[in-house]
A and B are shown apart, each in its own frame.
Chain A
Amino acid sequence: MRAARSFALLVGAGGALGWSGLAGGQAALAPRARVDFGRDVLPVLADRCFPCHGPDANANPSGLRLDERASATTGREGRAAIVPGDPAASELVRRVRAHPDERMPPPESKLVLDAGEIELLERWIAEGAEYAPHWAFRALARPEPPAVADEAWPRDELDRFVLAELERAGLAPAAEATRAEWLRRASFDLTGLPPTPGEVRAFEAQETADAYAREVQRLLASPRYGEHMAAGWLDLARYADTYGYQNDVYREVWPWRDWVIEAFNRNMPYDEFVTWQLAGDLLADGVGAPGAPGAAREQGLATAFNRLHRQTNEGGSVDEEFRVEYVSDRVHTFGMAFLGLTLECARCHDHKFDPIAQREYYALSGYFASIDESGLYSHFTSATPTPALDLPTPEQEAKLARLDARVRELEAEIAGIETSSAAFVERFLEDPPPFDEMADEMADEQDRFPLDGDALPRLANLRAPGAVDAKAEGPVQRVPGRFGGALELTGDDPLLFPKTGHFARSDPFTLSLWVWLPERYERAVILHRSRAWTDAGSQGYQWLVEEGRWSAALIHFWPGDALCVQTTDELPRERWVHLCATYDGSSRAAGLALHVDGVRARAEVVRDALTRGIQGGDPGGLTLGERFRDRGLRGGRVDELRVFGRELGSLEVAQLFDGRALADALARPAGEPALRDYYFSAVDEAHRGARRRLAKARAERDELHDRVRQIMTMRELPAPRPVHLLQRGRYDARVEEVARGVPAVVHAAVGGPAPRDRLELARWLFQPGQPLTARVAVNRLWQQLFARALVETSENFGRQGTPPSHPALLDHLACEYAASGWDTKALLARIVLSATYRQGSRASERAREADPDGRRLSRYAPRRLSAEMLRDAALFASGLLVERVGGPSVRPYQPPGLWEEKSGLAYVQDTGEGLWRRSLYTIWKRTSPPPAMMLFDAAKRDVCVARRQATSTPLQALVIWNDPQLVEAARVLGERLAREFGGSPRAGLEEAFRALCTRAPAPEELAVLEGLLDAERASFDAEPGAARELVEVGERAPDAELPPVEVAAWTVVVQGILSHDAALVRR
Chain B
Amino acid sequence: MTPPSFDARWLATRRDVLARATLGLGAAALAELLPGARAAGGDLRPQRPPRAKRIVFLFQSGGPSQVDLFDPKPELNARHGEELPDSVRRGQRLTGMSGNQSSLPLAGSPFRFERHGECGAWMSELVPHTAQVVDRLCFVRSVHTEAINHDPAITFFLTGSEIAGRPSMGAWLGYGLCSANRDLPAFCVLISQEKSGQPLYARLWGAGFLPAEHQGVQLRAGSDPVLYLGDPPGIDRARRGAMLDGLRALAAIQHEREGDGAILSRLAQYELAFRMQTSVPEVTDLSGEPGEVFELYGPDSQRPGTYAANCLLARRLVERDVRFVQLFHQGWDQHAALRPDLAQQCRETDQASAALVVDLERRGLLDDTLVVWGGEFGRTNYSQGKLTPDGFGRDHHPRCFTMWMAGGGVRAGLTYGSTDELGYNVASDPVHVYDLQATILHLLGIDHELLTYKYQGRRFRLTDVHGEVVPGLLA
Tell whether A pairs with B: yes
Chain A positions near chain B (C-beta within 8 angstroms): 1-12, 14-19, 21-22, 24, 46-48, 107, 110-112, 114, 244-248, 310, 312, 314-318, 325, 336, 342, 344-345, 352-354, 474, 490-492, 534-535, 629-632, 634, 793, 795-796, 798-801, 841-843, 848, 862, 895, 897, 901-904, 926-929, 931-932, 934-935, 937, 940, 942-943, 949, 951-959, 961-964, 967, 1002, 1004-1005, 1008-1009, 1011-1012, 1015-1016, 1019-1020, 1026-1033, 1048, 1052-1053, 1055-1056, 1059-1062, 1064-1065, 1067
B228 touches A342 (CB 8 A): no
A/B pair count, beta carbons within 8 Å: 336
B232 touches A967 (CB 8 A): yes
B212 touches A901 (CB 8 A): no
Q: A7-B28, A953-B212, A1059-B247 are in contact. List 16 more A-B contacts (CB 8 A).
A: A6-B27, A10-B21, A12-B264, A114-B38, A316-B396, A474-B386, A798-B457, A799-B457, A842-B258, A895-B224, A901-B220, A942-B203, A961-B243, A962-B231, A1027-B234, A1059-B243
Which 4 interchain pairs have the tightest Cβ spacing?
A800-B457, A1030-B234, A316-B95, A6-B27
**Which positions 318-356 of chain B face chain A at CB distance < 8 Å?**
none
B449 touches A110 (CB 8 A): yes
Instruction: Type the 1/0 row for B207-227, where 1 means its CB is closer than 8 Å to any CB of A.
Output: 000111101010010101011
CB neighbours (8 Å) of B397 from chain A are none
B206 touches A940 (CB 8 A): yes
A935 CB to closest chain B CB, in angstroms?
7
CB neighbours (8 Å) of A964 from chain B are 232
Of chain A, the residue at the smallest CB distance from B267 is A1061
A903 touches B38 (CB 8 A): no
Contact partner, B212, options A312, A795, A934, Cβ 8 Å: A934
Chain B positions near chain A (C-beta within 8 angstroms): 1, 14, 17-18, 21-22, 26-28, 31-32, 34-40, 43-44, 93, 95-103, 148-151, 163-165, 175, 178-179, 182, 185, 191, 193, 196, 198-203, 206, 210-213, 215, 217, 220, 222, 224, 226-236, 238-240, 242-243, 245-247, 249-251, 253-254, 257-266, 268-270, 272-274, 276-277, 386, 395-396, 447, 449-450, 454, 456-458
Contact partner, A112, options B40, B164, B234, B239, Cβ 8 Å: B40
A1061 touches B251 (CB 8 A): yes
Of chain B, the residue at the smallest CB distance from A491 is B102
CB neighbours (8 Å) of B215 from chain A are 934
Contact partner, A962, options B35, B96, B191, B232, Cβ 8 Å: B232
A535 touches B151 (CB 8 A): no
Of chain B, the residue at the smallest CB distance from A793 is B457
B457 CB to closest chain A CB, in angstroms?
3
CB neighbours (8 Å) of A793 from chain B are 456-457
B203 touches A940 (CB 8 A): yes
CB neighbours (8 Å) of B227 from chain A are 895, 931-932, 935, 955, 958
Greatest chain A CB density within 10 A among B96, B201, B215, B276 is at B96
Of chain A, the residue at the smallest CB distance from B196 is A904
CB neighbours (8 Å) of A1061 from chain B are 250-251, 254, 258, 260, 262-263, 266
**Bound: A943/B161 CA distance, A:** 14
B27 touches A18 (CB 8 A): yes
CB neighbours (8 Å) of B250 from chain A are 1005, 1008-1009, 1056, 1060-1062
Contact partner, A1008, options B98, B211, B246, B262, Cβ 8 Å: B246
B457 touches A353 (CB 8 A): yes
Of chain A, the residue at the smallest CB distance from B384 is A316
CB neighbours (8 Å) of A1033 from chain B are 232-234
The answer to whether A325 and B163 touch (CB under 8 A), given A314-B149, A1030-B235, is yes
Of chain A, the residue at the smallest CB distance from B41 is A100
Of chain A, the residue at the smallest CB distance from B32 is A3
A949 touches B212 (CB 8 A): yes
B27 touches A10 (CB 8 A): yes
Of chain B, the residue at the smallest CB distance from A114 is B38
The answer to whether A342 and B457 touch (CB under 8 A), given A317-B95, A942-B164, A1011-B246, is yes
A1030 touches B276 (CB 8 A): no
**Bound: A474/B387 CA distance, A:** 12
Greatest chain A CB density within 10 A among B39, B93, B234 is at B234
CB neighbours (8 Å) of B272 from chain A are 954
**Bound: A533/B268 CA distance, A:** 56
CB neighbours (8 Å) of B164 from chain A are 244, 310, 940, 942-943
Contact partner, B31, options A6, A354, A934, A1009, Cβ 8 Å: A6
**Bound: A952/B265 CA distance, A:** 8
B247 touches A5 (CB 8 A): no
Q: List 14 A-B contacts (CB under 8 A).
A: A111-B37, A245-B151, A491-B102, A629-B96, A842-B259, A848-B259, A895-B228, A958-B226, A961-B243, A967-B232, A1005-B253, A1019-B238, A1056-B247, A1061-B250
Contact partner, A902, options B34, B200, B266, Cβ 8 Å: B200
Contact partner, B258, options A634, A796, A841, A952, Cβ 8 Å: A841
A927 touches B200 (CB 8 A): yes
A1030 touches B456 (CB 8 A): no
Contact partner, A1062, options B238, B245, B254, B264, Cβ 8 Å: B254
B270 CB to closest chain A CB, in angstroms?
5
A1029 touches B234 (CB 8 A): yes
B212 touches A1060 (CB 8 A): no
B21 touches A15 (CB 8 A): yes
CB neighbours (8 Å) of A6 from chain B are 26-28, 31
A315 touches B235 (CB 8 A): no
A961 touches B240 (CB 8 A): yes
A242 CB to closest chain B CB, in angstroms?
11
B211 touches A4 (CB 8 A): yes
CB neighbours (8 Å) of A318 from chain B are 93, 96
B19 CB to closest chain A CB, in angstroms?
10
The answer to whether A316 and B457 touch (CB under 8 A), given A958-B226, A1026-B236, is no
**Bound: A4/B211 CA distance, A:** 6
B258 touches A1067 (CB 8 A): yes
Of chain A, the residue at the smallest CB distance from B261 is A17
**Bound: A963/B37 CA distance, A:** 42
B266 touches A22 (CB 8 A): no
B212 touches A937 (CB 8 A): yes
Of chain A, the residue at the smallest CB distance from B155 is A245
A7 touches B100 (CB 8 A): no
CB neighbours (8 Å) of B36 from chain A are 47-48, 111-112
A962 touches B28 (CB 8 A): no
The answer to whether A954 and B199 touch (CB under 8 A), given A19-B31, A21-B31, A1008-B246, is no
B234 touches A1060 (CB 8 A): no
B102 CB to closest chain A CB, in angstroms?
4
The answer to whether A317 and B102 touch (CB under 8 A), given A6-B26, A1029-B233, A1052-B239, is no
CB neighbours (8 Å) of A24 from chain B are 35
**Bound: A895/B206 CA distance, A:** 18
**Bound: A490/B268 CA distance, A:** 70
**Bound: A954/B268 CA distance, A:** 8
**Bound: A6/B34 CA distance, A:** 14
Contact partner, A953, options B14, B198, B199, B213, Cβ 8 Å: B213
B202 touches A927 (CB 8 A): yes
Of chain A, the residue at the smallest CB distance from B186 is A7
B102 touches A632 (CB 8 A): yes
Of chain A, the residue at the smallest CB distance from B195 is A901
The answer to whether A1002 and B253 touch (CB under 8 A), given A632-B102, A963-B228, is yes
B212 touches A19 (CB 8 A): no
B18 touches A19 (CB 8 A): yes
The answer to whether A8 and B18 touch (CB under 8 A), given A47-B36, A940-B203, A1016-B242, is no
CB neighbours (8 Å) of A1016 from chain B are 239, 242-243
Contact partner, A15, options B18, B202, B235, Cβ 8 Å: B18
**Bound: A928/B292 CA distance, A:** 37
Contact partner, B257, options A12, A956, A1002, Cβ 8 Å: A1002
CB neighbours (8 Å) of B226 from chain A are 955, 958
B268 touches A246 (CB 8 A): no
CB neighbours (8 Å) of A491 from chain B are 102
B269 touches A9 (CB 8 A): no
Contact partner, A1059, options B217, B270, B277, Cβ 8 Å: B270
